[in-house]
Amino acid sequence: MSLVQVGRIIAPYITSNDAEPDLNCSVVMLPGNRGVGYAQELPGDRDGHGVLWQKVVERPGKGKPRFGKVHPARQRRAMAELLCQVCAGPADRTADGVLWLFQDHREDWKRWPEGMAAVEPPVCVGCVAISLRRCPALQRSAVAVRVRSFEIVGVRGTLYRPGLFAPTAVLGTEIMYCDPMVHWMVAVNLVRELRECSFVPFDELLNS
């Protein structure tokens, strides 16, 4: 469900709200040091790669938005299905690729954002203008990027290590699905690797 209500944006689709509290589920070690699991685990707690995901309450459109806090299930759905992170409609796509909006980090590395591990889902053209107006980070500096190759490569979340009685949370990080350590993660975001990126001028986008 989109959070665009009666023609106005309450909050982006992927933004969490205060009717969606964090759930504290006990994380346990699997027998044979195979990674982490939940004490009361359900089949839906893992993704197709067998990686454990943060359990969440999902009540879109309820409560007050918690801007800056991304809802794990909605981020995962938008990223997996290439939905607009603001309105949850299909992200914009042309022959040059799918549309992403980012803060401008071209100083980070020479061909940024080529090869970036992205956790921000893409956007549709209709949500570009409102994102530029309403998102404080994008107000500072923004770029629109078309991406031709956007493979799902891994997850972001909390990495655990074996502890004496229970696994211990070590750090928040991103881990690729090909890394065996991914089984020690509790995931909160799906990560795509962006390749074949090209910049799009905003006037071209907004006047099209």
Applying CB under 5 A, the residues found at the interface with Zn ion are 84, 86-87, 124, 127
Q: One-letter amino acid identity for 123? A: V
**14 versus 127: smaller Cβ distance to Zn ion:** 127
Residue 192 Cα distances to 92, 119, 146, angstroms: 17, 7, 14
**38 versus 61: smaller Cβ distance to Zn ion:** 61
Q: Is the peptide bond before 167 cis (omega within 30 degrees of 0)?
A: no
The residues, any chain, with a CB within 8 Å of residue 42's CB and separated by 6 or more, are none
At residue 124, φ and ψ (nearest 5 deg) are -100, 160
Token pair in block for residue 159: 């990495």
At residue 202, φ and ψ (nearest 5 deg) are -65, -35
C-alpha to C-alpha distance for 75 and 64, rounded to whole angstroms: 18
Residue 1 in contact with residue 10, Cβ under 8 Å? no
**29 versus 127: smaller Cβ distance to Zn ion:** 127
User: Whole-number minimum distance, CB 65 to Zn ion, in Å?
Assistant: 16
**107 versus 204: smaller Cβ distance to Zn ion:** 204
**130 versus 166: smaller Cβ distance to Zn ion:** 130
